[in-house]
């Protein structure tokens, strides 16, 4: 019986190898069909992937980056000791960024719990466009594989997926094969609001593309009109520049679809009232399910936020924005937003985690003493009190990531040997030193 | 090091020991035979105390995506139910859906040393194990859900070779790191994706043309022939629907002697008599159960108060959303694999329906004649949080208390139930069967759930107390692997339990087909779908115990 063991690690030298079925950590889809070559320590994508993945995997990393204390090179042990000293003295450390995987987040939760800090993720504003909906009404949702095989109508709401989740159309909307429907069944894609440029929506399985452009701020209104049309309410004229007939037609298409899926990337919904749009999607889906099937599909999960929120929720009960200051988890989505706390002078130490690369999530500017645990080359406005360069999960070390649908999680592998520290090791050592 | 627990009154049904005063010896984490000549390194006087093996919960939703959906959706469940960190413990929250660490601590404080998550979707198995990995103190294990997954339904629709179906079942158990297999609303979760709203035992799935009866028999026979100890764990058709009694009786007969475990049977024992068109079917279910020795069950008792239901049964949970309290809920269609539905629920003793559900559960407990085939559960958190177990034990052991409680419920429900006429009181021996020996035997945990030589030294010591609720709430000692982990209801040492799995043989030829299937349809590759041993051992800092399976036939 072959034991189903996971992963192959780099050979002794960690060089000149090809890895298959590699999970990509660089957006919430976490595609796991990548083929990655390691040539003398340089990673290149040999098959599958996308520009976003290429930017992540093929970036040259300063494998020998040194930890620093106040801008001067230091040993890892000294940097850890200094970090522990700062955290030990802090009354309210703020743990922000949290761009890491499940194992890294576990280590950060243990540290935050122990030190009485606050945890929040760099993308939690996006996440909170959804959380309010989940915590007030709930919803009906789908997952990537279910949508890939079943959807006959996909409504993309206000999100340029080619930026945030580049392979959505290739892998989910237009797979080579799908389990249900006729062999050549075509899907209808509706682009609602200024999201993906229609020209980017391509694929053999994609039939009609309905491009219903409107200003982002009109999206909630247009969705409300679609919902009213589903209820048979008489039209009150165009909404957001979209004709009443078009809205009625869209409602009709939804009602006649066997399995419509409403897709949005919370990160892309940056307009005021974006949570209203999510509310409206949840309401439309709920209404449609009275007679047919329909579901939502939120494409978040970038920068490890699905992992951070899931781990935080299962360990503390709450999806981020949790304070451990009282000795027990306390949740307040307003009070414990780290960005707001920094802006308003709360907290006395910032600990910033960003392990997926230098670009996505540099620490916000702050006067607070700062510890940065991040990828080498991370953009810093000034030298922090402590900087510890970290490897990237899924490139420099193994781990797991929760996918955007919050159902599937994927294993990550070590693809190269850089000697960069891992967050579980660093955060674990800091916790132990407290 | 040899430890002696001196003078306790021992209830060890697996070894036929019924309240006998005897010493128990522990060496290197195991129970060993008494040896008068051996030097005792530590002696713990438990004279007058009641000694049992550590308790085992064979059906409790402690880990996996739907629990984290419930946790996230219900901050109001956690506020006011905080656990503060201490020098050795992490903080946590939660009443009906506790955070993982808090759940592990609370279970241990109640004398439990093993918990089994019964509804692990293979597509969500990795997360289920991560959450169980963050549930300290207890051993754990999980049942892989099959029966609405498209691979099996395609096999059945295509009348695939039965050996290949067995291979697939076995492969799934390996891939998901499972100890058993559960089916939930057989075929129904998939049917709901095709907009079917109901699927009775002999109704056909609209796309695949297979019936729940065929799925149940296929999986049960498959597991039996694979040598898996735990029988097919069945959450039947029509959960919670008045009149589902008929389906449940037919399901028992449909198995025709094949081994089966009917879970949360209370939710499947409803008639349609009376003014409210809702009545107890407990007597009929218990009568048939008593005759069919191939059937075991757990009750899924409801107890009054706020909780949250969480199930893989998206079809029936969608139907139950009308009763959501508070008014919010989540349903999901998942990965061509399964689904889920999370619906908060508040059971009220002044509601006729809830009160009768309470009575139906108790009737089943009191009418079922073989405690070896009945396990004590609330289907945490579906009927009530697991923290209500001591209260439930008192209801079963103390008929005066039971009658007092009966007086408080909706008067029509009192009249509609025979609970008041049932004098049976469970004995400590029977409670030990239902919470230790029975689940261990059913799950195939050879060295758990008993106190004979060779058993793992998971031991719970209670102060005898006529108030059984108080007694079972706060054990005096809990030992895990021979070490004291709880003293007077307080955790003194944190341990990480093991993960129990079963690994029946399969023909690797099935992997080729699965690799192709995953490549064509899935968004996860065949290689990455499987949860590796190293994930549980390194990332979760756990360990794996492979329980034996019988020879494949
Ligand atoms: S779509 Fe996202 S996960 Fe897939 S390869 Fe591109 S960046 Fe990676
Ligand atoms: Zn259950």
- Partners of B69 on chain A (C-beta within 8 Å) are 134, 406
CA B359 – CA B129 distance, rounded (Å): 35
Q: Which of A22, A26, A148 to mutate to test the pocket of ligand 1 (most atoms within 8 A of CB)?
A: A26
**Interchain proximity A1–B97, CB inside 8 Å:** no
Which of the four pLDDT bands, split at 50, 70 and 90, describes residue A198?
confident
CA B263 – CA B299 distance, rounded (Å): 7
A354 lines ligand 1 (CB under 6 A): no
**DSSP notation for A263-328:** EE-GGG--STTHHHHHHHHHHHHHHHTTTSEEEEEE---GGGHHHHHHHHHHHHSSSS-EE-TTSS
Q: What pLDDT sits at residue A11? A: 54
For the beta carbon of residue B493, count every other beta carbon within 10 angstroms: 14
pLDDT mean over A106-131: 97
Q: What pLDDT sits at residue A14? A: 55
pLDDT at residue A1 above 60?
A: no
**What dihedral do alpha carbons A44, A46, A49, A55 form, nearest 10°?**
20
CA B355 – CA B349 distance, rounded (Å): 5
Tell me if residue B19 falls in helix, strand or coil.
strand
Say yes or no: A9 contacts chain B, CB-CB below 8 A: no
Q: Are residues B308 and B344 in contact, defined by beta-carbon separation less than 8 angstroms?
A: yes
Residues linked to residue B27 through DSSP beta bridges, in sequence order: B2, B30
CA A419 – CA B401 distance, rounded (Å): 65
Q: What distance in Å separates residue B353's CA from the closest CA in chain A?
A: 25
Class of domain A68-123+303-433: alpha beta
Name every residue whose Cβ is closer than 8 Å to that of residue A24 and which is 6 or more positions away in sequence: A30, A31, A32, A34, A49, A53, A56, A57, A394
Q: Are residues B117 and B156 in contact, defined by beta-carbon separation less than 8 angstroms?
A: no
A84 lines ligand 1 (CB under 6 A): no
Q: What pLDDT sits at residue A200? A: 86
Nearest ligand by distance to the CA of B234:
2
Through-space distance between the first and last CA atoms of chain A, rounded to whole angstroms: 46
Helix (H) / strand (E) element for A331: namely: strand A330-331
Residue closest via CA to ligand 1's atom 2 equals A27
* Residue-wise burial string across A394-433, b where 16 or more C-beta atoms lie within 10 A, e elsewhere: bbbbbbbbbbbbbbbbbbbbbbbbbebbbbbbbbbbbbee
The reply to whether B482 falls in a domain is: no
Q: Where are the alpha helices (DSSP H) in B278-375?
A: 282-291, 314-320, 352-367
Q: How much is the pTM?
A: 0.97
Q: Where are the domains of chain A?
A: 17-57, 68-123+303-433, 128-300
- Residue closest to A39 by CA, chosen among A64, A58, A15: A15
Through-space distance between the first and last CA atoms of chain B, rounded to whole angstroms: 43
pLDDT mean over A401-410: 98
Provide the number of structural domains found in chain B.
1
Write the burial class of residue B209 (CB in 10 Å: 0-12 exposed, 13-18 middle, 19+ buried): exposed
Residue A178 exposure: Cα atoms within 13 Å on the Cβ side: 26
**DSSP notation for B367-400:** H---GGGEE---TTTTSS-GGGHHHHHHHHH-HH
For the beta carbon of residue A305, count every other beta carbon within 10 angstroms: 26
**Interchain proximity B330–A141, CB inside 8 Å:** yes
pLDDT at residue A275 above 50?
A: yes
- Partners of B333 on chain A (C-beta within 8 Å) are 141-143, 146, 150, 293, 295
**What dihedral do alpha carbons B397, B263, B259, B162 form, nearest 10°?**
-170
Phi, psi of B509 (to 5 degrees): -55, -30
Nearest ligand by distance to the CA of B300:
2
Say yes or no: B65 contacts chain A, CB-CB below 8 A: yes
A368 lines ligand 1 (CB under 6 A): no
Q: Are residues B232 and B223 in contact, defined by beta-carbon separation less than 8 angstroms?
A: yes
**Interchain proximity B335–A143, CB inside 8 Å:** yes
Name every residue whose Cβ is closer than 8 Å to that of residue B363 and which is 6 or more positions away in sequence: B280, B282, B283, B286, B417, B418, B419, B422
Using CB atoms, which residue from A175, A314, A318 is nearest to B131? Answer: A314
CA B413 – CA B496 distance, rounded (Å): 44
Distance of CA A152 to the CA centre of its chain: 26
Q: Are residues B7 and B46 in contact, defined by beta-carbon separation less than 8 angstroms?
A: yes
CA B288 – CA B80 distance, rounded (Å): 44
- Partners of A1 on chain B (C-beta within 8 Å) are 503, 505-506, 508
- pLDDT, tens digit (0-9, with 9 covering 90-100), for B23-37: 999 999 999 998 878
State both tokens at A339: 């960005």
Residue B75 exposure: Cα atoms within 13 Å on the Cβ side: 17
Q: Where are the alpha helices (DSSP H) in B12-144?
A: 65-73, 75-78, 100-109, 125-133
For the beta carbon of residue A39, count every other beta carbon within 10 angstroms: 12
Using CB atoms, which residue from B97, B130, B520 is nearest to A400? Answer: B130
C-alpha distance from residue B228 to each of B60, B223, B251, B272, B444 (Å): 20, 5, 21, 37, 8
- pLDDT, tens digit (0-9, with 9 covering 90-100), for A52-89: 999 999 999 888 899 999 999 999 999 999 999 999 99
Distance of CA B437 to the CA centre of its chain: 14
Residue with tokens 């955790």: B491
Instruction: Please report the number of interchain residue pairs, chain A to chain B, with beta-carbon separation below 8 angstroms.
Output: 226
Which of the four pLDDT bands, split at 50, 70 and 90, describes residue A194?
confident
Alpha-carbon radius of gyration of chain B: 22
- pLDDT, tens digit (0-9, with 9 covering 90-100), for A329-374: 999 999 999 999 999 999 999 999 999 988 767 899 999 999 999 9
A27 lines ligand 1 (CB under 6 A): yes
Note down the domain range covering B120.
56-447
pLDDT at residue A236 above 90?
A: no
CATH number assigned to the domain comprising residue B257: 3.20.20
Say yes or no: A33 contacts chain B, CB-CB below 8 A: yes
CATH number belonging to domain A128-300: 3.40.228.10
**What dihedral do alpha carbons A325, A331, A333, A336 form, nearest 10°?**
0
Say yes or no: A145 contacts chain B, CB-CB below 8 A: yes
Nearest ligand by distance to the CA of A54:
1
Question: Which residues of B239-367 form beta strands (DSSP E)?
Answer: 260-262, 270-271, 279-280, 295-298, 305-311, 329-334, 338-347
CA A309 – CA A320 distance, rounded (Å): 6
Phi, psi of B458 (to 5 degrees): -100, 110
- What is the distance in A from the centroid of ligand 1 to the CA of A52? 6
CA B323 – CA B325 distance, rounded (Å): 6
Residues linked to residue B344 through DSSP beta bridges, in sequence order: B308
Say yes or no: B91 contacts chain A, CB-CB below 8 A: yes
- Partners of B72 on chain A (C-beta within 8 Å) are 131, 134-135, 309, 313, 318-319
Give the atom of ligand 1 at the shortest distance from the alpha carbon of A34. Answer: 5
A341 lines ligand 1 (CB under 6 A): no
Which of the four pLDDT bands, split at 50, 70 and 90, describes residue A181?
confident
Residue closest via CA to ligand 1's atom 4 equals A31
ipTM: 0.97
Write the burial class of residue A345 (CB in 10 Å: 0-12 exposed, 13-18 middle, 19+ buried): exposed
Q: What pLDDT sits at residue A15? A: 64
Say yes or no: A411 contacts chain B, CB-CB below 8 A: yes
CA B481, B483, B489, B492 torsion-angle sign: negative
CA B20 – CA A149 distance, rounded (Å): 61
Q: What pLDDT sits at residue A67? A: 98
Say yes or no: B148 contacts chain A, CB-CB below 8 A: no
CA A281, A283, A284, A288 torsion-angle sign: positive
CA B297 – CA A184 distance, rounded (Å): 47
Q: Which of A22, A27, A35, A36 to mutate to test the pocket of ligand 1 (most atoms within 8 A of CB)?
A: A27
**DSSP notation for B416-477:** H--GGG------HHHHHIIIIIHHHHHHT-TTSS--STTSB--EEEEE--SSHHHHHHS-SE
- What is the distance in A from the centroid of ligand 2 to the CA of A102? 26
CA A325 – CA A338 distance, rounded (Å): 14
Residues linked to residue A349 through DSSP beta bridges, in sequence order: A93
- Residue closest to A403 by CA, chosen among A143, A180, A154, A169: A143
Say yes or no: A143 contacts chain B, CB-CB below 8 A: yes
- Partners of A293 on chain B (C-beta within 8 Å) are 192-195, 333
The reply to whether B458 falls in a domain is: no
State both tokens at B263: 């879970």
Nearest ligand by distance to the CA of A303:
1
C-alpha distance from residue B455 to each of A295, B29, B30, B366, B379 (Å): 49, 9, 6, 30, 27
The reply to whether B384 falls in a domain is: yes
Q: Which of 301-330 (B) contact A at CB < 8 A?
A: 318, 324, 327-330
Say yes or no: B516 contacts chain A, CB-CB below 8 A: no
Using CB atoms, which residue from A31, A103, A317 is nearest to B93? Answer: A317
- What is the distance in A from the centroid of ligand 1 to the CA of A279? 27
Q: Determine the residue among A285, A314, A325 to mutate to test chain B binding: the one whose Cβ has the most chain B Cβ atoms within 10 Å.
A: A314
Which mean pLDDT values do the consecutive 10-residue runs of chain B (553 residues) have?
96 98 97 88 97 98 96 98 98 98 98 98 98 98 98 98 98 98 98 98 98 98 98 97 98 97 98 97 98 97 98 97 97 98 98 98 98 98 98 98 98 97 98 98 97 98 98 98 97 98 98 98 98 96 97 95
**DSSP notation for A65-101:** PPPEETTEE--HHHHHHHHHHHHHH-SSEEEEEEE--
């Amino acid at each position: 019986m072959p034991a189903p063991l996971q992963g192959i690690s780099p050979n002794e030298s960690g060089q000149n190898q090809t890895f298959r079925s590699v999970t990509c950590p660089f957006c919430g889809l976490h595609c796991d069909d990548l083929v990655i070559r390691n040539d003398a320590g340089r990673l290149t994508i040999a098959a599958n992937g996308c520009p976003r993945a290429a930017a992540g995997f093929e970036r040259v990393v300063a494998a020998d980056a040194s930890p620093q204390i106040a801008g001067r090179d230091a040993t890892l042990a000294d940097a850890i000791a200094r970090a522990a000293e700062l955290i030990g003295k802090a009354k309210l450390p703020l743990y922000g960024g949290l761009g890491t995987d499940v194992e890294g987040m576990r280590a950060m939760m243990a540290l935050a719990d122990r030190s009485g800090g606050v945890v929040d993720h760099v993308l939690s504003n996006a996440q909170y466009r959804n959380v309010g909906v989940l915590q007030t009404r709930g919803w009906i949702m789908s997952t990537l594989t279910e949508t890939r095989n079943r959807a006959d109508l996909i409504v993309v709401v206000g999100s340029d997926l080619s930026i945030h989740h580049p392979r959505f159309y290739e892998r989910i909307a237009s797979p080579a094969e799908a389990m249900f429907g006729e062999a050549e069944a075509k899907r209808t894609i509706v682009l609602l609001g200024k999201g993906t440029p229609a020209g980017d929506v391509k694929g053999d399985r994609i039939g009609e593309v309905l491009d219903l452009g409107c200003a982002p701020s009109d999206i909630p209104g247009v969705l409300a009109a679609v919902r009213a049309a589903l209820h048979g309410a008489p039209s009150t004229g165009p909404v957001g520049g979209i004709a009443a007939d078009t809205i009625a037609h869209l409602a009709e298409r939804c009602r006649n679809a066997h399995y419509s899926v409403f897709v949005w990337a919370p990160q892309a919904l940056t307009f005021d009232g974006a949570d209203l749009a999510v509310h409206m999607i949840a309401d439309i889906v709920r209404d449609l399910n009275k007679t047919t099937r329909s579901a939502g599909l939120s494409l978040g999960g970038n920068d490890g936020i699905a992992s951070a929120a899931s781990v935080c929720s299962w360990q503390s009960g709450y999806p981020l924005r949790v304070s451990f200051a009282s000795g027990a988890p306390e949740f307040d989505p307003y009070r414990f937003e780290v960005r707001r706390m920094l802006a308003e002078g709360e907290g006395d130490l910032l600990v910033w985690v960003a392990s997926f690369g230098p670009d996505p999530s540099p620490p916000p500017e702050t006067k607070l003493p700062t510890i940065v645990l991040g990828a080498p080359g991370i953009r810093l406005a000034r030298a922090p009190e402590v900087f510890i360069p970290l490897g990237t999960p899924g490139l420099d070390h193994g781990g797991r990531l929760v996918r955007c649908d919050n159902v599937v999680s994927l294993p990550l592998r070590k693809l190269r040997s850089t000697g960069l520290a891992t967050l579980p090791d660093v955060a674990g050592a800091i916790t132990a030193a407290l | 090091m040899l430890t002696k627990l001196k003078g306790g009154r021992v209830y060890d049904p697996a070894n036929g020991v019924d309240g006998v005063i005897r010493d128990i010896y522990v060496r290197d984490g195991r129970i060993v035979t008494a040896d008068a000549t051996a030097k005792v390194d530590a002696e713990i006087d438990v004279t007058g105390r009641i000694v049992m093996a550590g308790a085992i919960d064979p059906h409790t939703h402690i880990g996996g995506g739907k629990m984290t959906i419930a946790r996230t959706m219900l901050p109001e469940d956690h506020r006011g139910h905080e656990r503060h960190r201490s020098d050795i413990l992490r903080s946590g929250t939660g009443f009906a859906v506790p955070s993982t660490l808090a759940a592990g601590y609370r279970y241990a404080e109640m004398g439990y040393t093993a918990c089994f998550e019964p509804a692990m979707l293979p597509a969500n198995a990795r997360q289920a194990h991560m959450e169980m990995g963050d549930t300290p103190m207890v051993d754990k294990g999980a049942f892989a859900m099959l029966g609405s997954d498209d691979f099996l339904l395609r096999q059945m629709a295509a009348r695939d070779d039965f050996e290949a179906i067995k291979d697939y079942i076995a492969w799934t158990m390996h891939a998901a790191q499972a100890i058993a297999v559960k089916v939930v609303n057989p075929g129904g979760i998939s049917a709901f994706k095709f907009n079917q709203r109901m699927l009775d035992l002999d109704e056909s799935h609209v796309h695949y043309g297979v019936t729940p009866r065929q799925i149940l028999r296929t999986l049960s026979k498959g597991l039996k022939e694979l040598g898996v100890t735990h029988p097919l764990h069945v959450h039947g058709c029509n959960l919670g629907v008045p009149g589902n009694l008929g389906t449940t009786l037919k399901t028992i007969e449909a198995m025709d002697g094949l081994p089966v475990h009917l879970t949360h049977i209370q939710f499947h024992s409803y008639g349609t008599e009376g003014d409210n068109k809702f009545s107890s079917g407990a007597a009929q279910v218990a009568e048939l159960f008593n005759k069919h020795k191939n059937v075991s069950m757990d009750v899924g008792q409801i107890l009054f108060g706020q909780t949250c239901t969480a199930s893989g049964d998206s079809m029936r949970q969608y139907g139950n959303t009308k009763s959501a309290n508070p008014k919010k809920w989540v349903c999901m269609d998942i990965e061509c694999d399964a689904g889920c539905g999370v619906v908060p629920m508040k059971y009220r003793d002044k509601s006729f329906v809830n009160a009768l559900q309470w009575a139906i559960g108790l009737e089943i407990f009191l009418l079922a004649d073989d405690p070896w085939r009945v396990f004590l559960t609330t289907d945490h958190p579906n009927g009530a949080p697991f923290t209500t177990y001591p209260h439930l034990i008192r209801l079963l052991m103390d008929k005066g208390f039971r009658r007092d409680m009966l007086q408080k419920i909706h008067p029509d429900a009192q009249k509609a139930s025979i609970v008041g006429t049932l004098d049976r009181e469970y004995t400590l021996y029977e409670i030990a069967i239902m919470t230790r020996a029975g689940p261990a035997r059913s799950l195939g945990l050879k060295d758990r759930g008993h106190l004979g030589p060779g058993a793992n030294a998971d031991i719970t010591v209670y102060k005898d107390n006529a108030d059984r609720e108080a007694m079972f709430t706060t054990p005096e000692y809990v030992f895990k692997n021979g070490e004291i982990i709880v003293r007077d209801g307080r955790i003194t040492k944190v341990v990480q339990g093991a993960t129990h799995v079963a690994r029946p043989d399969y023909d690797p030829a099935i992997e080729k087909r699965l690799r192709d299937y995953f490549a064509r349809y899935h968004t996860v590759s065949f290689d990455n779908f499987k949860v590796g041993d190293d994930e549980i051992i390194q990332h979760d800092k756990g360990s794996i115990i492979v329980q034996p399976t019988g020879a494949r036939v």
